């Protein structure tokens, strides 16, 4: 029994999808330039597709699971479950107005022409805010629509905002924060659920590892108590005696988020020779 995974063939999600599988120890055998590939060391078969088609393929059972942006999942509204947030492909679906205009709230949209590739999500937003506007669906280069007189406003994906800026537009209001997610069909065979659990366990340990650093430091024994109190660690830190009498080496794991703060406190508490090492996998 194999699990069939659909990922983007090429584009913004492709490289991160492949990298995540690699970091999860999954080797993709016969290259990624085809429509399909098989993992050589995990019961996974890969399909390379346009991102827009992935929810449909998963609903139909051509693929069992997929990596795709939430923006696409919610726009397509297929019968699929969002099983896991993958943490890459982060972007926002936002309204953008001409740079000399001021977005004053949902009513600003009333009666306007909105160009977007996301008519379903935009209509949802309009309905929720009880506003009527004219949606023009276009499939690409939405940002040029106001400049050529096709629309007053656009609703499009933004990450840095530089594309908007280059087209004389500015971001006005976000209607969805998006990232790549793992979607699945509701009804997988029990053996496939087991494979999916194994895959998610691996992905989770890769993600956890990225959020943490392994720290080694030297400390005089009379400062150990203070230093240990600063270190969270997975259980408690490892203490090893150094060859120099009265000194120990302390090993621990620190979260990326409060990393610098803890390092500064450690130095003040008398820690020396601090080494910080990336963690490849983290299994708790």
| Footprint on this chain of ligand ATP (rule: CB under 6 A) | 8, 11-13, 50-52, 69, 71-72, 89, 91, 157-159, 178
Stretch in the footprint of Zn ion (CB under 5 A) among 52-60, 87-95, 96-104, 121-129: 52-60
Min. distance of Cβ 223 from ligand ATP in angstroms?
A: 46
Min. distance of Cβ 54 from ligand ATP in angstroms?
A: 8
> Which of Zn ion, ligand ATP, none interacts with 76 (beta carbon under 5 to 8 A by kind)?
none
Segment (H or E) for 173: strand 169-178
Of the candidates 108, 126, 131, the residue with the CA atom closest to the CA atom of residue 116: 126
Spatial CB neighbours of 158, under 8 Å, sequence gap ≥ 6: 91, 92, 93, 94, 96, 164, 171
- Give just the sign of the alpha carbon dihedral 50, 54, 57, 62: positive
- Check binding of 51 to Zn ion (CB under 5 A): yes
Please say which residue, 70 or 215, places its beta carbon nearer to ligand ATP.
70
Min. distance of Cβ 178 from ligand ATP in angstroms?
A: 5
Min. distance of Cβ 25 from ligand ATP in angstroms?
A: 25
Q: Which residue is nearest to ligand ATP (CB)?
A: 69
Report the alpha-carbon distance of residue 70 to residue 67 in Å, rounded. Answer: 9
**Reduced to 3 DSSP states, what percent helix, strand and coil does the chain have, rounded to the nearest 5?**
35, 35, 35
> Which of Zn ion, ligand ATP, none interacts with 38 (beta carbon under 5 to 8 A by kind)?
none
- Check binding of 53 to Zn ion (CB under 5 A): no
- Give just the sign of the alpha carbon dihedral 128, 129, 134, 137: negative
- Residue of 45, 52, 124, 204 that binds Zn ion (CB under 5 A): 52
| Inter-residue contact 171 to 161 (CB < 8 Å) | yes
By CB under 5 A, name the binding residues for Zn ion: 51-52
């Amino acid at each position: 029994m194999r699990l069939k995974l659909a990922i983007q063939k090429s584009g913004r999600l492709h490289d991160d999808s492949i990298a995540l599988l690699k970091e999860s120890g999954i080797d993709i055998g016969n290259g990624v330039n085809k429509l399909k590939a098989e993992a050589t060391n995990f019961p996974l078969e890969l399909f390379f597709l346009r991102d827009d088609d992935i929810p449909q393929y998963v609903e139909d059972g051509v693929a069992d699971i997929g990596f795709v942006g939430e923006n696409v999942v919610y726009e397509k509204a297929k019968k699929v479950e969002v099983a896991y947030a993958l943490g890459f492909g982060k972007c926002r679906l936002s309204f953008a107005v001409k740079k000399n205009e001021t977005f004053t709230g949902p009513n600003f949209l009333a009666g306007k022409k909105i160009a977007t590739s996301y008519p379903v999500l935009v209509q949802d937003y309009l309905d929720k805010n009880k506003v009527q506007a004219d949606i023009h669906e276009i499939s690409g280069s939405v940002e040029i629509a106001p400049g050529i007189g096709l629309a007053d406003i656009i609703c499009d994906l933004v990450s840095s905002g530089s594309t908007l800026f280059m087209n004389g537009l500015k971001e006005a209001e976000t209607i969805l924060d998006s990232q790549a997610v793992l979607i699945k069909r509701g009804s997988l065979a029990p053996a496939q659920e087991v494979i999916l659990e194994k895959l998610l366990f691996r992905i989770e340990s890769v993600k956890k590892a990225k959020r943490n650093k392994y720290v080694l430091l030297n400390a005089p024994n009379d400062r150990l108590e203070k230093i240990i109190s600063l270190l969270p660690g997975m259980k408690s830190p490892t203490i090893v005696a150094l060859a120099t009498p009265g000194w120990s080496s302390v090993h621990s794991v620190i979260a990326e988020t409060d990393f610098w703060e803890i390092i500064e406190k450690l130095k003040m508490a008398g820690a020396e020779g601090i080494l910080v090492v990336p963690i490849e996998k983290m299994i708790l």
